[in-house]
Structure 1
């Protein structure tokens, strides 16, 4: 009597494990997406407060974190959700109900998992390369997502017994090539000229040097200067730090001349004309923070928003806006 060959545990548990990893990735990227779209700040390590550029915030605010004007994490969330659905969906179909359909569904979804896992791993690998060479920063969210993607690829390969071994070579190679070409195409103009009316922010991937940080490269128009003068007139203040990308973004929105007109309070002792005690007294928790006529605004604000809050009634032909807004 022949003994029935036991099924390796990885074959039995691969789908639930893939589903769990994909759900974790979906939750992670959903958090980043919601935070980005709502203008909030992601939770980062305590070290970021002293060296912003070496932390996750500077990476998530870099040009590489936007694709087609939308947060990259949004596309990551969709990818993880699709992987979770493909992994767990067949488990909901009762084997005895329709064996033929279940077998076909199992085959299709495994091919999808293999292709999807490969694509995500290749894309994450490219981003890790950018993280190490271009951004030269540490982003635990990005590294965690890359680990998830690599795990999904590994489980999609070793999580089942493949009848056609050729699929393990042909599909990953083709998908990897397509993904790499597409990725290079997406980021081909990352440092190229910006569209008219968009905020031409210079790269913030280099370390900001105290006391001034990054150099303001935009020119103020009549409207920006008038708005800045009005903000000062009504007692508006901008609290920030020289290393803060969002503060730099705010300065780029207003332009060099207008920034000279606003009341700017530097909160880092290493910055120019620092006033850390004033920031502590005002209980500033994030940068930049605007205090205008008793109203607090967190994050970089469009000139239109600053005009509305401050009661500005001058010209409104502002020159710049932010990508994705």
Structure 2
């Protein structure tokens, strides 16, 4: 009597395991995508948590092809989730040949996806350690998810042609790395803003290249125009309050939108520093106002989280002055 060889447990449970990890990745990147698109601050950037997290998520590396990097991670995890569960969900037991073809196809898609995600995550870990020199729990978690899915993909199937597997891995890794280096080749950690010479508004981007001063954060390098100054004066008169933390790059982006002269007007009476280690810190006021992220504006009793454009602040407060603002984000 011929005994049928039992299926190793890892082969039986690898797809559900990959789908589970991809599910965690979807939650992770989905949350970051939402925060990035809404201009909010992730929970790791509150005063009680690691400051470096916000530096990472506000850096030029947090944008890929003009879109938030977590958005691409979200799409990748959704793809891995579908590839892992598709053969299980579509298994009717009627057409064994078609089922086998679907399993083989999705295994290769899982392998290619896991290789690409692992290589890309490896590059981001290099940036994290040697360029930004910061800690980002979300980024590290995503890298671990990608690596774990790669291990499960390799060990979860009885691959027949190891040579083809290695060749595919090499090609995918090279294409991913070259593409990544190409996309990020123009990224520079400089935080300087180049003023427009043609009268058009200038885009604001900021990447910290030095530690912030607890007294004021980073130096405001943009200059205000008449519109920024008029809006700042209007915000003060309307009773608007801005809650900030000196170490928050998003808060500094808000300052850069106003310019030095206009923001000085706001900071004198309408800004509340929430960092407890700042000489100006009043964390009790921030707690009383139920501030969860920085910057946050409280206008007419309503809280607006994240960096607000000057146009939006003007609209919220009924500003009717000049609107030829010099900067945008």
* TM-score normalised to structure 2 length: 0.88
> Counterpart of 2:43?
43
Among 296, 317, 327, which residue is 1:310 paired with? Answer: 317
Between stretches 169-178 and 267-276, larger displacement belongs to 267-276
> Counterpart of 2:307?
300
Structure 1: which 5+ residue stretches go unaligned? none
Between stretches 118-127 and 226-235, larger displacement belongs to 226-235
Taking the aligned partners of 1:302 and 1:76, their CA distance within structure 2 comes to: 27
> Counterpart of 1:214?
218
Spell out, residue by residue over 1:255-274, the C-alpha distance to the aligned partner (whole angstroms, 9 max, x if none).
11111121333333543644
> Counterpart of 1:27?
27
* Aligned partner of residue 118 in structure 2, secondary structure: helix
Q: Assess if the C-alpha contact under 8 Å between 1:225 and 1:257 holds in 2.
A: yes
Alignment of 1:1-325 (within 5 A): 1-44=1-44, 48-50=46-48, 53-54=51-52, 56-94=53-91, 96-191=93-188, 197-204=201-208, 206-262=210-266, 263-271=270-278, 273-276=280-283, 278-279=285-286, 282-322=289-329
* Aligned partner of residue 239 in structure 1, secondary structure: strand
Q: CA deviation at 1:82?
A: 0.7
Structure 2: which 5+ residue stretches go unaligned? none
Taking the aligned partners of 1:27 and 1:281, their CA distance within structure 2 comes to: 30
Q: Assess if the C-alpha contact under 8 Å between 1:52 and 1:58 holds in 2.
A: no
Q: Which has the higher contact order (CA 8 A, sep 6+)?
A: 2
Taking the aligned partners of 2:143 and 2:210, their CA distance within structure 1 comes to: 23
Q: 1:293 to 1:120 in 2, by over 3 A?
A: same
Q: Assess if the C-alpha contact under 8 Å between 2:119 and 2:173 holds in 1.
A: yes
Q: Assess if the C-alpha contact under 8 Å between 2:206 and 2:253 holds in 1.
A: no
Spell out, residue by residue over 1:44-96, the C-alpha distance to the aligned partner (whole angstroms, 9 max, x if none).
28xx5156533x33322222212233221111111111111111101223364
Between stretches 12-21 and 91-100, larger displacement belongs to 91-100
Q: CA deviation at 1:111?
A: 1.0
Taking the aligned partners of 1:126 and 1:149, their CA distance within structure 2 comes to: 13
Q: Assess if the C-alpha contact under 8 Å between 1:289 and 1:296 holds in 2.
A: yes
Q: CA deviation at 1:284?
A: 4.0
Between stretches 62-71 and 158-167, larger displacement belongs to 62-71
Spell out, residue by residue over 1:190-231, the C-alpha distance to the aligned partner (whole angstroms, 9 max, x if none).
228889745333322543132221121222222111111222
Between stretches 31-40 and 253-262, larger displacement belongs to 31-40
Q: Assess if the C-alpha contact under 8 Å between 1:52 and 1:243 holds in 2.
A: no
Between stretches 82-91 and 4-13, larger displacement belongs to 4-13
Q: CA deviation at 1:34?
A: 2.0
Q: 1:294 to 1:93 in 2, by over 3 A?
A: closer
Q: Assess if the C-alpha contact under 8 Å between 1:114 and 1:157 holds in 2.
A: yes
Q: Assess if the C-alpha contact under 8 Å between 1:200 and 1:218 holds in 2.
A: no
Q: Assess if the C-alpha contact under 8 Å between 1:29 and 1:76 holds in 2.
A: yes
Spell out, residue by residue over 1:262-312, the C-alpha distance to the aligned partner (whole angstroms, 9 max, x if none).
133333354364455554555544322223344432221100111112222
Q: 1:261 to 1:179 in 2, by over 3 A?
A: same
